[in-house]
Structures are given as structure tokens and as C-alpha cells.
A and B are shown apart, each in its own frame.
Chain A
Amino acid sequence: MEKYDIVVIGGGPAGLAAAISAKRSGIDSVLILERDRELGGILNQCIHNGFGLHTFQEELTGPEYAHRFIRQVMELGIEYRLDTMVMDISREKLVMAMNRKDGLFDIQAKAVILAMGCRERARGALNIPGFRPAGIYSAGTAQKLVNVEGCMPGREVVILGSGDIGLIMARRMTLEGARVQAVAELMPYSGGLKRNIVQCLEDYGIPLKLSHTVIDIRGRERLEGVTLAEVDGRGRPVPGTEEFYSCDTLLLSVGLIPENELSGKMGVEMNPVTSGPRVNESLETNIGGVFACGNVLHVHDLVDFVSEEAGAAGRNAAAYVKEYAENSVTGSAKDSVKDGTKASTRDNWKDGTKAGTRDNWKDSVAGSAEDSVTGSVEDSVGDSTKDNRRDGTKAGTSENATGRADHQRGREIRLQPAEGVRYTVPERINVSRMDEKLSVRFRVGNVYKNCYVSTYFDRERVSRRKRQVVAPGEMEEVILTREQLLQYPDLETISIKVEA
């Protein structure tokens, strides 16, 4: 059977950045599995510009942004397989995939990086009455047809949902000669970026109808038209506001859902708010050595942040594999890993029964890599554990529990979304394993103006940032530093809130 140190599932922006970062961290045996016929993922069909401002300080189109990463993959000689679909991943990281050349095959990985991205919410999830004629597409499908296949799905268009892909497609189809009559948005605000509302709708005189939805679809074989109506505060159509639009095409831009069938099947624990895996500061799921990044973890609005997050996942996966190697050499849970600044020790998670055993990753402030760590399965009480965290030269302790033991012992800090905040990624932090800085990303549940984004360490407010506006459409970020967290050895919960 084939063996690789790290198998990356998906060759889009997240998978590319993760693989590059893993390789640069010293792991040579990296394989990317991609189901499409080329690397780059959805960026290939996002031909508009606006990508890469954070990463490259210039505005690139999607294919150009992808190319920057694909070129690095080539230069680094990272292996990849195209037209290859992953069918299953086991808890033991046995990856089952298939393609036309090799048929069905297995690959044993030491670490797996989940980078499958997301997919669009479809009509079936919306409960729109009416027939099921041809002419109803998700915005992304239409985008692929126009920008990759070079064909137009229709000429008279209505768009439901004001997500960014829908807005971008309103402009794109207009430029290709279609008449886009309206964009209807159920919510009283748009989920798309301001810039897209102005440059994709207002530039072309396309009306954005907020608090409107499609209440009927006409046409049996081919779409003939849709009826839009205004909705009240509870999302119910207001009688008397119905308006019929004759059209041959309806595009749906009504949200993205992380594509986690593989993750769920292998036993990765999910967060119902993000529909993505629950991860710790290393972007590692509840299964040791299985990492997640990009839109499969939570839906991002800027690809730059996907690349950044995936880079971290790649580094962390590389660190895991290095430990793994040493563990299998010594055949015990007692060794250390040098990565320059950190000497960490961690057991393999023993999965079988989900009773994960893992050593505490320790700081080695002194940078002495060969600290004598006894990674024994000796239980220690909370107090000594806290000492260990602060004292990098002391022996780490491991626990023998359910994998949540860290938290119970006060060593793993829980991140909690509070007022106005819907979720955070990550959800748990082991301070001794975090980098100097950790980005905590989150989204808010509503539009708030003139508010504060506040961070609480247990009941103490440690930071408060004034914001003119925060909105569900834009991902937010709070940066935590290790230095700051080390000053709170008893910290149990960090909460992030929106305050007036």
C-alpha cells in the first residue's frame, strides 16, 4: 500500500497553501488529492479581480491568485493527483480514493489535512413552491458555465440571494448580454460586500430588493418566470406585494455549506453553527493528526485568510508528523520535537475507543530541545499542570481521559462566542502549543453599528475595540498572544462579545 506522511484532501486555495507550508516545514512526503481536472479549485472560475490584497498587496483575479500557489507546488515538487475522488477516510487515516487510471486505491497517511471547501446551498433547501423546470442554477454553477465552459445559461435573469457570487454573476451575465432584472434578498441587509453591491449592481442599474423572496416559480419544462414578494419581519410574504418577473433563468446565491461528508463519516466532531469541524489552536480536530482549514472549516469571505489559515494547518500537520516519526522510533510516548522555538511532546491519540491520550505540548522557553520529558501516562492534578505550562523546562504530563481532559484540568482554554457572536474558530486553546500569536476568527449574527468587540478572560474584560459597523457578511478577527495568555494561568474561558 502507498504511504505518505501528509495527505491533503482538496487542491483548492486551502489545500495548496497547506501542502506548500507542510513541505516548507520539512515534510517531503506530501500528496494532494483533487477531484477536478486541475488544481486551484473554485478560484479558476472566479475570473473577477480583488483577490490577494492582503497576501500580495495587489489585486489579482482568481486564476492569477491560484497560479501563485500552483507555481510553488510545482517548484517544491509536491505530488498531486487530479481527477481523483476521495471516497473515505478512516480514523486510522487510511484514505480510500479512486480515479480512472488506478481505479480504487488506499493510501496510508500519518496526518490528514481536510481542505475540501464548501458547496452552495441548493433550491431544495429553500422550500420555494412551484415546478422544477430547467433554468434554475446555483450562482456558482452559472459562473462555471460562463467563465470556464464559455456558455450562457440564459438571457433574462432574476437572482435570489445577495451573496457575493450572486452579485458577481449579476455583473458577469450583464456584460455577456443578459438582462438581469433584479436581485432579491430575504434579509433586510445584503450578505455581500459593499463594493460588490456598488460595482456589480449599481453600476449596471440592477435593483437590489431587500426583504424580498421568490414565492412562486412558473414553467414546467423551462422556467417562464418567478413571483417576488416582500416579506415581513418573520420572513413571511406580505399579501399584495407580489410582482411577476418573466425570465428564463433564476440564479440562487443563498449561502455556502462546508463540504464535510468525509469528515463526518470518519468521526470528526462538528460545530452545528459553522457546519465545520471543531478544532483547537492547531486547527486539529478531535481526531489527532487530522487537521482542517479553509472553507471546509468555516466559510470565509476573503481567500487571503484561507491561505493564511491553511498555512498554519500545514505547519501544525508537519509538527505532528515529526513527533509521529520519533514516537515510532522509540516505540514509546516519550520524546520531544524540535522546531526551533518550541519543544513539544505529544502522544499519538489512541483512537479506537475515542479515549485519546495526548501529552501536553510544552513550552521550552529556553529552547532546549532535549528536555527530559517523561511522557508517561501519569495523572497529575491541576496545580502541577499549571506549573508545567509556565515552566518550559519541566516535564509535561499526559492525561488518560477522553481528550477533553485538558479543559477539565484547566490547561485547555475554551473559547466561547457570547452576545452577538455566532461562533469562534478555534474553540479550544492549549497555550503551550499555540504560536506567539493566534487569530481567532468569528462572525457576528446581525448588523451592529457603533459597537465594541470585546474579549473577556473569564469575567475580566481584557480588550475592547470600537467598531463603526460589524456585519454577518464580513468575518471578524481577534488576535490573542501567548504572552498575554501565560499571564492568566487559571483562565478557563475566553469569550468574545459585541457590546453597545
Chain B
Amino acid sequence: MNTKNLTCINCPMGCSLTVEMEGDQVIRVSGNTCKRGEIYARKEVTDPTRIVTSTVKVLHGNAAVIPVKTKEDIPKGKIFDCVKALKKIQVEAPVHIGDVIAADIAGTGVDVIATKNVEQGADI
């Protein structure tokens, strides 16, 4: 059996959570003062995921870069692969909110989409 310590992020309490695990199985969550803490802890130790946001270079646009995000959560361990893959990408203006910038980023099955409109313009 091993234990993991987490800080709950659901409210400003920031409860210190202790998760007791047997292999991949969660045996017990303690330290939480509400149900949300337990749900968070179970997810965080078995399948931690994050939305990743970054920027991508734009060509011939009225902005230098365009902000993007993963359309859904991706595994926490894939964050850096995702950001690295985005570094290699350049897009041509115009680009609009929701446009797919990179499909299936870093083998996660999740698309990266634009979060802002960038119109054509003099390169900045």
C-alpha cells in the first residue's frame, strides 16, 4: 500500500487530502471535509487530466500569435508533448474561434482549437 498527498482545489479551504492506494485501486481518501474532495482525489490519483492552453504562430494575420486550447482535457502526462507539438505549427490567417489548429494532438485523440479570431492583415 502507498499513500499520496494532494491539495483539494474545489474551494479556498484547500484541504490536505491523503489517498491510500493499493496498486491502482483507491482504498481510502481522508482529510477532505466534503464529498467534492473525495471525487477530486480519486480522479487526480487515477486519471489526472488538464485542459492545455497555449499560442500558435500566425502568418499574414493582424496578430502575431493565436491563442489555442485542447478541446477537451488531456492526460496530465501529455502536457509537454502537446505544447512541443504546437511549437512546430504555423497557421495562415484568417483563423476563427473553434477552428481546428491541430487534430489529435500528441496522440491524445483530442483536437487543439483556436480561441480567438485573427483576421488577415499586415504581418505583425
- Say yes or no: B80 contacts A175, CB within 8 Å: yes
| A237 to B83 Cα, complex, angstroms | 39
**B55 adjacent to chain A (CB < 8 Å):** yes
Contact at B67–A199, with CB atoms within 8 Å?
no
Which residues of A lie under 8 Å from residue B13 when comparing CB positions? 194, 449, 468-469
Query: Which one of B22-30, B57-65, B104-112 contacts A?
Result: B57-65
Contact A47 B8 (CB under 8 A): no
Decide if B53 touches A49 in the complex (CB within 8 Å): yes
Chain A residues 142-159 with CB under 8 Å of chain B are 146-150
Q: Say whether B69 contacts A61, CB under 8 Å.
A: yes
Q: What range describes how many residues of A lie at the interface?
A: 20 to 34
List chain B residues, Cβ under 8 A from A44: 116
Residue of B nearest to A44 (CB): B116
Q: Is B14 an interface residue (CB 8 A)?
A: yes
Type the 1/0 row for B65-97, where 1 means its CB is closer than 8 Å to any CB of A: 101010000001001100100000000000001
A243 close to chain B: CB less than 8 A: no
- Residues of A183-228 contacting chain B, CB below 8 A: 193-195, 197-199, 202-203
Return chain B residues, CB-CB under 8 Å to A61.
Answer: 53, 67, 69, 115
Say yes or no for A166: interface residue by CB 8 A criterion: no
* List of B residues within 8 angstroms of A88 by Cβ: none
Q: How far is the CB of B63 from chain A (nearest CB, A)?
A: 7
Partner of A59, one of B51, B65, B97: B51
Contacts A67-B116, A471-B12; A148 near B53 (Cβ below 8 A) = no
Question: Which residues on the A side are within 8 Å of B11 (C-beta)?
Answer: 194, 468-469
A49 touches B69 (CB 8 A): yes
Q: How large is the interface on B (under 10, 10 to 19, 20 to 34, 35 or more residues)?
A: 20 to 34
Count the A-B residue pairs with Cβ separation under 8 angstroms: how many? Answer: 79
Q: Tell me the minimal C-beta distance from B117 to chain A in angstroms.
A: 7
Residue among B9, B33, B64 making CB contact with A198, cutoff 8 Å: B9
- By the criterion CB–CB under 8 Å, are B57 and A150 in contact? yes
Q: Give the docked Cα–Cα distance between A198 and B7 (Å).
A: 7
Interface centre among B12, B65, B69 (most CB of A within 10 A): B12
Residues 12-55 of A, flagged 1 when their CB comes within 8 A of B and 0 if not, give 00000000000000000000000000000000100111000000
Contact with A150, one of B7, B8, B64, B69 (Cβ below 8 angstroms): B64
In A80-107, which residues have CB < 8 Å from any B CB?
none
A194–B16 Cα gap in the complex (Å)?
11
The reply to whether B12 and A194 contact each other, CB–CB distance below 8 Å, is yes
Give A449 to B33 CA distance when docked, in angstroms.
13
Q: A: which residues have CB within 8 A of B?
A: 44, 47-49, 59-61, 63-64, 67, 146-150, 175-176, 193-195, 197-199, 202-203, 449, 468-471, 473-474
- A61-B69, A64-B115, A468-B33 provided; 9 other pairs, C-beta below 8 A? A49-B53, A147-B67, A150-B55, A150-B64, A150-B65, A194-B8, A203-B76, A469-B13, A470-B12
Q: Can you name 23 A-B pairs with beta carbons within 8 Å?
A: A47-B53, A47-B69, A47-B115, A63-B97, A64-B97, A146-B55, A147-B65, A148-B64, A148-B65, A149-B64, A150-B57, A150-B65, A175-B52, A175-B54, A175-B83, A194-B10, A194-B14, A195-B9, A199-B50, A202-B7, A203-B50, A468-B13, A471-B12
